[in-house]
Structure 1
């Protein structure tokens, strides 16, 4: 019996490191000791990432680089918002570089990075923190589960 191969709709359990071109590690499931579970085709992965995973099987290891357009995209100036200080909790520690969770109208949470604080104006960047960067993925496939037909 052959191992399942990553294809459309497959659930992939994997460990990964995301490294920047300077060699620094931006994220790591290994550091947290908790593998990621990704589903191809659900819209959570970029096309470049999905393409790199196709055809892999349990136990496979792969290192690959993705340019910004195939990874987290280019920064979008429309994703930088200027908010009034009163929109934050009175006891919120607002410092440049802090990543905060914000809640959208639909109840979903998403991160924003505090970029500047000038008086009562707080500049928040809602671009992905790795937008505009070429990233190197170092992955190890732990398991592949195919969706039932």
Structure 2
């Protein structure tokens, strides 16, 4: 009998994340490299993990998640207006570009350029998929006990 995914499972799976219009936002199938995750390690949101609980090796499932259960609802406080002069000269500030901004702690935070108006650049630090309803298709390859 295949073991079911529990809160302490290690899971090897293929997944595809699709937007409401059917376009693929992310998939492991193109590279044919399945994702490995340990339930509860924080790599997936609690809502994504709830979708996986109880599934077994060989299962294929599809789940639709509203924004609040997927990548969140856009937060207007995460949209900033930055002067063009604060960007390096070799950075193309164009709408839709994703730029990594160095943080004081050395990490990088990606921001999406939403608008460029004269010397003002509007940068959105919300997750690029915030506000989107997504479909999470999974194919469970292997389920093991973590640790």
Query: Above 0.5 in TM-score?
Result: yes
Give, in angstroms, the shift of residue 10 of structure 1: 2.4
Give, in angstroms, the shift of residue 139 of structure 1: 0.8
State the alpha-carbon separation in 1 of the partners of residues 139 and 120 from structure 2. 44
User: Which residues of 2 match residues 65-144 of structure 1 at below 5 A?
Assistant: 65-144=64-143
Q: 1:54-96 CA deviation, whole Å, 9 max, x = no partner?
A: 1122221111101111111100001111122233221011110
Let me know the Cα RMSD of the aligned residues. Answer: 1.7
Change (3 A) 1:45 1:89: same
Deviation beyond 3 Å, 4+ runs, structure 1: none
**Residue pair 2:38, 2:146 contacting (<8 A) in 1 also:** no
Change (3 A) 1:66 1:33: same
Name structure 1 gaps, 5 residues minimum: none
State the alpha-carbon separation in 2 of the partners of residues 21 and 9 from structure 1. 31
Give, in angstroms, the shift of residue 119 of structure 1: 2.1
**Residue pair 2:67, 2:73 contacting (<8 A) in 1 also:** yes
Aligned residues: 147
SS at match of 2:127: coil
TM-score (norm 1): 0.87
State the alpha-carbon separation in 2 of the partners of residues 89 and 11 from structure 1. 43
TM-score (norm 2): 0.88
State the alpha-carbon separation in 1 of the partners of residues 13 and 86 from structure 2. 38
State the alpha-carbon separation in 2 of the partners of residues 118 and 134 from structure 1. 30
State the alpha-carbon separation in 1 of the partners of residues 104 and 54 from structure 2. 38
Name structure 2 gaps, 5 residues minimum: none
SS at match of 2:137: strand
State the alpha-carbon separation in 2 of the partners of residues 20 and 81 from structure 1. 25
